[in-house]
Structure formats: structure tokens, C-alpha cells
Chain A
Amino acid sequence: MTSNETGTHGAVLKDTPPAEDRALVELRAAGKSYGNIRALHGVDLKVFPNRVTCVLGDNGAGKSTLIKIISGLHQHTEGEFLVDGEPVRFSTPREALDKGIATVYQDLAVVPLMPVWRNFFLGSEMTKGPWPVRRLDIDKMKKTADEELRNMGIVLDDMEQPIGTLSGGQRQCVAIARAVYFGARVLILDEPTAALGVKQSGVVLKYIAAAREKGLGVIFITHNPHHAYMVGDHFSVLRLGTMELSASRSEVSLEELTNHMAGGTELASLKHELAQVRGVDVEELPEAGDLTAPVATSSEGKS
């Protein structure tokens, strides 16, 4: 990795104009097994520029496994993983970054005790000077980080303050701003709103929309259908490692999405059992017949 440019993985890749009709990242019947445990099986997913693709699912549905494959932390064991139509297999997150795929993890986004500007440039530091005395270009990094954060609407007095002193929403936003700055074409957000309050979630959702406006393809992992529906263009629901639903915004309503999330058909059968128990109100729960949304492998909507 050479070190004189700012962000090795950005500038070069930005030059290729994003073709609207070609998926940046595509999974074809991809799956992952850990030993004899099949965590993910037969998942199809397409990520287009200027689109927010939401991946929903309950705990253990395989969401984390899915993003770990795309972000290069793990390798898929079945199916195909394509970036720009080329089959790939990443062995480190660095390779994914070099392809313009940046991941913002819920808990792994930053190093809390390090200053904001060091966090912003971590792993892609700006340097100056020839080798024996090659050093960090601190002024430039501080200035750039401050500018980029202001562009995203985050105003900080002191770039030197440890990032741990920021609120959870602000930290997410710093991580998103960082990914956008370093020229990510695909932004993976792992439950960015899970640990946040209502207002902070709103801030993060705003940046997701902002990132989409900048032409990025966004993969938004969440288990909150309301948050997903506010910004999503396409929705994929995972359950027990397989695709339960894959529908574009026009094909699915928030209500249907919520029902699928909540276990959908399972919930309907549970309703009858619950009806036997006194004190449980089942009127609001859906019947199996209400779930009319298209299921997995149906045509992807217009992208």
C-alpha cells in the first residue's frame, strides 16, 4: 500500500461512471456454512447505484453473515459473488475496500479512545515526506476531516476529542462520512440505528439518504421495518438463513413488510394457538392470507 495519496481506494474507482442498469454488487444463490451449520443459503441480492437496498431479518437470520461475505471478513462457500459483474472472493476487508465496498459496523466503527481525526483517517492516513521521515500530515487531515464532517452536517469544535465522547448517532455519522469521503461506491450499514434514540436514528437515516443522493449503492441492514421503509428502495427479508422476501418499494407496503419481519406466516399460525389463551388480543395479528407480497426469487423491481 503506497501512502502518498489520500485514500488508496477511492479516486480511481470513482472514474467509472455508475451504470444504472448494472449491479455494483450481486449475490447469486450465495451461501455460507460454518462446518456443518448452514448460516446462509441461496441468497440473491443486487445492489445498484442510487438505491438503498434494505436487508431485514430477526436475530440469527443471517444478516451478519451476509455482510461479512460482502465486506470481506468471511468467504462464501456456495453460489456466486460478483462485483461489477466479475466474480470475486475477498480474503481481507482491505480487498473489499479497494473495490469501493465500505462497511460501517454498529459496534466496530471506531476506536473510542482515539481522536476524531485519527479515527477518520485510520487505515488510510495522509502522509508527507520521503521514507525515513515520512510522517502524518496532521494539519491537512484535521482540516479535511473537519470539512467532510461539516459537509455532512456534523460540527465539532475539537478534532482532538476522543471519538468516544461523541454520541452514538454522531459516531455512526463520522463513520458514514469517512466511507463516503474515501470514495466508497457501496456502503454497507450494519444496524446503524439499533442502539440509537429516535432523534439520532433520524439523523443517521438522513445520511443514508444523503449517501444515496451522492450516487452510492447502500446496503442497509436493520431489524426495524419502519426505519427501512423510510429510506429503502428495495427490501430483502432474511429468515433462518434464506430469503423470505425480495421486493421493490412499489410491491410491498410497510404493513406487509412488518408482517414478514415479525415472522409472517409463523405468526398467523401462532395466532390460533394464542387465541386459546385468555388475555391475549389476537385481533390485530394477520392471517396467512393477508400476506400477499411477492416472495423471494420474484422479479426484482425496476432498479
Chain B
Amino acid sequence: MSMTQQATPAVDTPPAPGQKQSDGRTRERPLALRLLARPEVGVFLGAVAVLVFFLFAAPPVRDGSSMANILYQSSTIGIMALPVALLMIGGEFDLSAGVAVVTSALTASMLSYQLTMNVWVGVIVALLVSLAIGAFNGWLLVKTGLPSFLVTLGTFLILQGVNLAITKLVTGNVATDDISDMDGFSQAQKIFASTFEVGGVNVKITVVWWLVFAALATWVLLRTKYGNWIFAVGGNKYSARAVGVPVTFTKISLFMLVGFGAWFVGMHQLFSFNTVQSGEGVGQELIYIAAAVIGGCLLTGGYGSAIGPVFGAFMFGMVQQGIVYAGWNPDWFKAFLGVMLLGAVLINLWVQRTATRR
């Protein structure tokens, strides 16, 4: 599927004003092939395939409430996969994203419980802490020029240790105290962890947030200056800087966006379970990264979409729950994921080669 046939440049012909002319080097490609070159189409087909497979293999999946459950599972991954995907398009990734979720939830929980304040105080402070962690990651990366793997591996380990140590220090336990009877709890729960009914099926609010954030992210990525900058700093940050793109601002703000996502998911966990286990979150960062990669984002940056990770997260939720509904051993889940990830990476590789073939 070559997009252009390499030949001598057709620049010798002077342009005839007002007359539409073509350079005669690009063939109109079949629609199917053009679609396949989009980053999100491959994963969309994959998601459909997984869905159809489980509709046949696991009859309970056909039920509406099972589907709502699958979407809920997908949304908790998907909300984080979005900023992680944007960051990846911007050329970096964040290993601390998984534990940062727990850090945020712990901050909100312990602050409001220990000081007996309205939970909203904890929620706001947690947001600031999450954004600060993101800003720190980004700032360190930009200032030192170290790879994001090293920088965020450091934050990952720091946060993991701090989560456990501070929680034990403050509560004397590995989990925080139940905050469900505190001021403002029910209000916050409405926003972060409520359930509503659609046609007799209970749907979690996170599914709505997930789709809203995805729509927003897509719009920003494709229709705004900032989105243009994300692609540019991921594609070639030296070129981007040379033409006047604020590379430092873009990178740091992307890390802060991941912080925002971690805060949101953290609040959801806090207000749906009332308490937080301090050791959780380890390994989740790889799930987010995998969802983004399956969603068609290049690990090396500069290419991807916000819709792709939505389907990527859906595939995760589908497989995770589908295996349970099919009555199989859930141990197979990770093996499934591995296969999906490798398949997605191979497709990405092929797309990248096609797109840059000269």
C-alpha cells in the first residue's frame, strides 16, 4: 500500500493559476486501505472481533447489565488511558500513573478524615497534589533531558513507598479509614461514583465521564493548536522548537494532564469503596500504556489518536469480564492481553513504515 510512488519531483512544471492540477504521483487508494491507515481503525476492528467472539463464547455477555459492567471496567482503565495516550503521542510515557491514582485517593481520604473536614477539602488538595506530581515529572524531564522511563520510574518507586509508609504512619494500618459518614461525601459520590438507570440497566457514571473526556481529548488533539503541538513535540521536538512550538510547556502540561486523570480515577475509587488500600495501583500503569498502544499510539510518539485508546480500553474490559462470563479460568486474562498487545504493535509498525515510505 504505497501512498506515493517515488519518482522525480514534479516541481518543474510551473503552476497554471486558477487551474486545478495534480502532480500525477498519488493514486486514489481504495477506501478500505485508506481507512486502515487511520490509527483507530485497526483497534476498532479488534474490539469488534473481541466483542463478537465473546457474544458467542459467553452467552451471559448478551445481557444488558453484563454489558454495563464491562463498560464500567473499561471506563476505569479508559479514563486514565486517555491522558496516557496524549502523553505518549507527545513522545513520553509515565510509569508512575498507576500508583499516582492511589496517592491521590490516599491524600483526599486521610486529609479529610484526620482533620475532620469536609471531603471536598481533601478532594481539592488531592487534585493539587496530583497536578504537582505531574508537573514535577515533566519539569525534571525537561530540565535534565533524561528519558521519561528513568524519571517516572523514580517517581513510581517514590510514590509506592510513600503511599505505604505515610498510610501506616497516619492510620497505623495499610488502609485508610472509612470516610462514608463525613460531610460532603454523598455529594462527591454523586459526581465520582454514582449509578444511573438506562432502560432497566444500571450504568456507572464513570462510563459517561469516560466518553465525555474522550470526545474532549479528540477535539483538542485534532482541532486545536495545543493538539498540533502534542503531535509536533512527539514527532520531532527539535523541529517543533525550531519553528516556535513551546516544547517545555507542552510536555509539562501533558504530564499534569496525566496527574488530572490519576486524580479523577483516584476519587472514583475512594468514593465507591469508601476506603483506600495503600499498596494498590502497582502494575496498572502498564495496563494504561498497553491500552494506549493497542489503541494505535506509537510508543515513540508523534502518532496516535484519542479514540483508539477508548477501543483499547474497551478490549481490556471486554476480555477481563468476558473470560469470567465464559466461565474460564481468569488466569488466562494476562495471556490474552499479551497477544493483543503484540498484535497491535505489529500493526502500528506496519502503519508507520507505510506512512513514512519514501
Contacts and interface: CB of A to CB of B under 8 A. Distances in A.
Interface of A: 3, 71, 73, 93-94, 97, 103, 105, 108-114, 118, 121-125, 127, 134-136, 138, 150-158, 161-162, 164-167, 169-170, 173, 199-200, 203
Chain B interface size band reads 35 or more
B12 A153 contact: yes
Nearest to B15: A150
A104 B3 CA distance: 26
A165 B21 contact: no
B26 A157 contact: yes
B9 to A, nearest CB: 5
Given A105-B242, A113-B303, A167-B6, A153 B358 contact: no
Contacts of A156: 23
B3 A108 contact: no
Contacts of A125: 225, 228
Contacts of A152: 11
A111 B26 CA distance: 21
6 contacts: A111-B302, A112-B302, A113-B355, A134-B225, A135-B224, A200-B9
A72 to B, nearest CB: 9
Give the most central of B6, B239, B240: most A CB within 10 Å.
Answer: B239
A173 B10 CA distance: 12
A112 B298 CA distance: 14
Given A3-B225, A134-B224, A161-B3, A112 B236 contact: yes
Given A118-B231, A135-B224, A167 B244 contact: no
A211 to B, nearest CB: 15
Contacts of A199: 8-9
A161 B26 contact: yes
Contacts of A93: 241-244
A170 B245 CA distance: 23
A167 B358 contact: yes
A166 B4 CA distance: 8
A110 B238 CA distance: 9
B334 interface: no
B228 A108 contact: no
Contacts of B144: none
B330 interface: no
Contacts of A121: 228
Give the most central of B23, B219, B224, B235: most A CB within 10 Å.
Answer: B235
